[in-house]
Amino acid sequence: MSEAPTHSQQVTLWLEDWCAGDNAAGQLLVDRIYPELRQIADRILHSERPYHTLEPNALVNELWLRLIHGAPVPYRNRIHFFAIAAQTMRRILIDYARARDADKRGGHWHQVSLSAVDGWNPAAQNEDMLALDEALAKLEKADPRAARVVELRFFGGLLEDEIATLLGISVITVKRDWKVARAWLMAQLSP
């Protein structure tokens, strides 16, 4: 008389059957390991920042969608499945964080290189972001609107007319602020 398979062995059998096209085995698999994945997601999200908007169930549901609709993976066993699940969860969280950060920074805007914008040509072609940030902070004290124009144009990738609309000023004023700010920043960033 043979012994009943262990939990790990049973999951491996269901994985094999599921990969072979047995939907019933897939449902048994979901029923058995969903709570484990939910606990993992809960633990991961518990260590995230407070008020994280992604819920453990949503993370596990997204995981299942990616596993089901992604390229078929011949899972070797339960451990292999959980390793793939962990990598996929990590990618989901990274994608989520990038999307959240992109939205906070105006993700629909186009980012433009300062050297590619309207003749920007500092003496050193290697624009140091920390130096630029310091120079912008100084410009902001001297001319807040011009600093905002640089920020929107350089970091946000907005066009002059978009900046004008956003700031409630004319396009000519945007061009003038950009020209003054660019000259001021070039002087600050030149060796």
pTM: 0.50
Rounded to an integer, what distance in angstroms lies between the CA atom of residue 141 and that of residue 21?
Answer: 65
3-class DSSP state of 103 = helix
Quick: pLDDT tens for 40-96. 778 777 755 566 677 888 888 998 888 877 777 788 777 777 767 776 777 787 788
**104-121: b (≥16 Cβ within 10 Å) or e:** eeeeebeebebeeeeebe
Would you place residue 101 in the very low, low, confident or very high pLDDT band (cuts 50, 70, 90)? low
For residue 171, the model assigns a pLDDT of: 94
The CATH code of the domain at 114-189 is: 1.10.10
pLDDT for the residue 155: 61
In the chain, domain spans: 7-104, 114-189
Please report the pLDDT score of residue 22 as a whole number.
87
- 104 has pLDDT over 80: no
For 114-147, the pLDDT digits (tens) are 554 444 444 333 335 567 778 888 998 999 999 8
